[in-house]
Structure 1
């Protein structure tokens, strides 16, 4: 299936891998950045908070941008913004500059991801199922390789991962600009900024979006706080901060398990128990893993924290695949799926951005283990929200192709 894909699919998938790598790229070098730029924990977590925050707003404009300028132009501009942001980050002299550039990076990532999947679905051989598998493969490779690349290059300098990402994304941008078909003039449904918010009038979409927001808050507690918690535990034993290689291997394991669970485990759970039940079970497991991470932080155990981070990839992979499917299965058929997805994504990323910004303040007020305890509570709230979803259309049904695609797109 993969060998027969045209070049346009491969170049878009390559660019998608690099874009997904940006999610975990910074994790292994957080401590190195802190030491080099004398940055406090609240500044470090803003590297994730602002990145997600701009995507919250971007969810309201990406549909309009694709309508106004065409998918290829929107995608290419997104790639160029990532290249510029990553390249300039390699020359940053203080943490505030990196935070500002992560805003630009987040906008570029949102513009690219909003349209990359459309190219893969439109051009991939094997129908939507083939496109799903290819996109999930790109997602898995990006999530797993991003922390590893950040670790390997970060052992040289904290600037090297940014420079490496800029170079790889530049190759992807040139390939997309050269090989992808131009934006043909065609009638596309007009999209307004407010349409995604209006879509949230749908009860199922709104409630599931709230549940997803709290789960994503727990997810980005792991991403934004775990590297700092690992170093705090290591210092408690008289050692220094956990280096890029150590943190990178932990998050490499996390990404690998998330990818495997999303591709292989999630569909089986949905077929066996139903989508909603699969989501509820995975969130409950996530809450337990967060409690394990909190215990490891209290015990100053690098091993337990690292194990909890890696294990969290399993329920996270399941949720990345199934969560959106629950939201979309009972959606209002009069609302375009892309618009409903944008509204749902608005809530989802809002939860992640709020968590990434608050996590350092929670730790300073209640201790290093507190963010993980809060994350466990987020999961309990997410379970309560999803439990309110009417499950007549989500019980024991296969993952809808469109919903699975939307779920992949949002990571």
Structure 2
């Protein structure tokens, strides 16, 4: 609920355009993920209840900030049915991007959920690893993704990112009993994940023919199927085989996502060219280079 509504809210209320809004949104998520493990480790060293009280306090701060700072969204005359996000998946572009993100999230949540086990470190050390990971997510969301997109186009950058993530998972799987190698691979993956998150969300908004709040809801619904199933499947697979197999499977899902993305390559390129033409007409200067 939070992912879908917060993304829809920031895209709707942003004054600098949806692309800049998505960049800031993904950067904020990365910073939160970076600080969270450090804060959780500190609070957990005091009491196992500490991290949960800390989360509750942060959610209260977020509630107050939302009430005080987020401007009210005007109601539209047209009502949106609860089934609208599911019906939106009939559009090929949105369905392709959703399935690609499902596979991407499968690998992502396998790493997020199970990489800490072979690290064999304490709460503070684990917090430092994921703080480094989150800082790379945030930095690449803001500074790297827009530049790569402008230089090479969305789809080619996504292909390279997915290959990079598959390589990181292969390193974890191959060196699952070498904690240092696992930690380095996890931190490095933050660069690919930050870039991928920003460009994937932008691509969804570009190719979708439905209102952006509906598109973000449909996209979130499909992609988090992968995020929901991956940790459970990884645990069952690890019990039935060994700890490296879930990471091999996660790497394979990243590669499978490339094949799905290829089905929407032309749609993303056409949408980028349309956006570039629109920006040229409005401002007299081209925006991002097309794919």
Give the TM-score category using the shorter length. 0.7 to 0.9
SS of equivalent residue, structure 1 residue 201 = coil
Partner of 1:113: 6
1:386 CA drift (Å): 0.4
Distance 1:212 1:313, change over 3 A: same
Does residue 146 (structure 1) correspond to residue 36 (structure 2)? The answer is: yes
Comparing 111-120 with 254-263, greater Cα deviation is found at 111-120
Structure 2, unaligned runs of 5 or more = 277-291
Matching of residue 209 in structure 1 with residue 98 in structure 2? yes
- Residue 138 of structure 1 and its aligned partner are, at CA, apart by 2.4
Task: Return the TM-score normalized by structure 1.
Answer: 0.61
Mean Cα deviation higher: 253-262 or 151-160: 151-160
Q: CA deviation at 1:150?
A: 1.2
- The answer as to whether partners of 1:274 and 1:396 remain within 8 angstroms in 2 is no
Deviates more, 1:310-319 or 1:321-330: 321-330
User: Secondary structure in 1 aligned to 2:36?
Assistant: helix
Aligned-residue Cα RMSD (Å) equals 2.6
Alignment of 1:101-250 (within 5 A): 109-110=2-3, 113=6, 116-117=9-10, 121=14, 131-132=21-22, 134-178=24-68, 180=70, 186-231=75-120, 242-250=121-129
Name 1:371's counterpart in structure 2: 246
Q: TM-score, normalised by structure 2?
A: 0.85
State the 1:152 CA deviation.
Answer: 1.6
In the TM superposition, residue 327 of structure 1 has moved relative to its aligned partner by 2.9
Gaps of 5+ in 1: 1-57, 59-108, 232-241, 402-411
How many matched pairs?
276
CA offset digits 1:258-292 (Å, max 9, x no partner)? 11111111111111111011111100110011000
Is the contact made by 1:273 and 1:395 (CA closer than 8 Å) also made in structure 2? no
1:265 aligns with 2:144: yes
Matched residue of 2:82: which SS?
coil
Asked if 1:284 corresponds to 2:163, the answer is yes
Indicate the SS of the match to 1:391: helix
Which among 195, 220, 223 is matched to residue 318 of structure 1?
A: 195
The higher-RCO structure (CA 8 Å, 6+ apart) is: 2
Show the counterpart of 1:355. 230
Q: What's 1:331 paired with?
A: 208
Residue 175 of structure 1: how far off its partner (Å) = 4.0
Q: 1:395 & 1:147 partners in 2: Cα distance?
A: 40
Secondary structure in 1 aligned to 2:46?
Answer: coil
Tell me how far 1:317 sits from its aligned partner: 0.6
**Which 4+ runs in 1 deviate beyond 6 A?**
398-401
Distance (Å, rounded) in 1 between the aligned partners of 2:262 and 2:23: 29
CA distance in 1, matches of 2:173, 2:124: 23
Indicate conservation of the 8 Å contact 2:149/2:157, yes or no.
Answer: yes
Query: Does the 8 Å CA contact 1:209/1:348 hold for their aligned counterparts?
Result: yes
- Residue 391 in structure 1 maps to residue 266 in structure 2: yes
2:134 pairs with 1:255:
yes
d(CA) in 2 for partners of 1:182 and 1:383? 39
